[in-house]
Amino acid sequence: MKERRRFIRLTSSVSVNYKKIKSTKDEIESVSKNICEKGICIVTKEELQVGDMLDLTIAISEYKMVISVKGKVVWVKENQGEDSSEPKTYSIGIEFSGVSKEASSQIEDYIHASLFNNI
């Protein structure tokens, strides 16, 4: 099978807070599975819907970065826990939208710095 991705994807566990745009609920804490220049995959206990628009705050403590972006949920996958007593979690694929040049540059710098440090 041919790889369709056009951007480097970095496996990365960083703090991501999100809130549905136009929602009155508080931000929800989650953690990333991976990130690329065009999107991020997070794991959360909340089942989001494809098409949901989100405000995201990505905190990359090792580089003292806080990146604020908007994104659109493009896929949702229920994760299977090892134990049925564990709460359900969901992997959520989010495509960034309307990303500022500064935020895009920060994401790109983080990915490249992390890859360089792992060589």
If you average pLDDT over residues 80-108, what whole number do you get? 88
Contact 12, 34 (CB under 8 A): yes
What percentage of the chain has pLDDT greater than the value 90? 66
Yes or no: say if 31 and 58 are a contact pair by the CB < 8 Å rule.
no
Asked if 67 contacts 106 with a C-beta cutoff of 8 angstroms, the reply is: yes
Residue 101 has pLDDT above 90, yes or no: yes
Amino acid at 4: R
Predicted model pTM: 0.87
End-to-end CA gap in the chain: 26
Give residue 63's pLDDT. Answer: 83
Residue percentage of the chain with pLDDT more than 70:
92
Token pair in block for residue 62: 């090792």
Task: Report angle CA 95, 14, 110 to the nearest 5 degrees.
Answer: 75
Report the pLDDT value the prediction gives residue 1, as an integer from 0 to 100: 46
Fold assignment, 10-117: Thrombin, subunit H (2.40.10)
**pLDDT per residue over 3-31, tens digit each?**
455 667 899 999 999 999 988 889 999 99
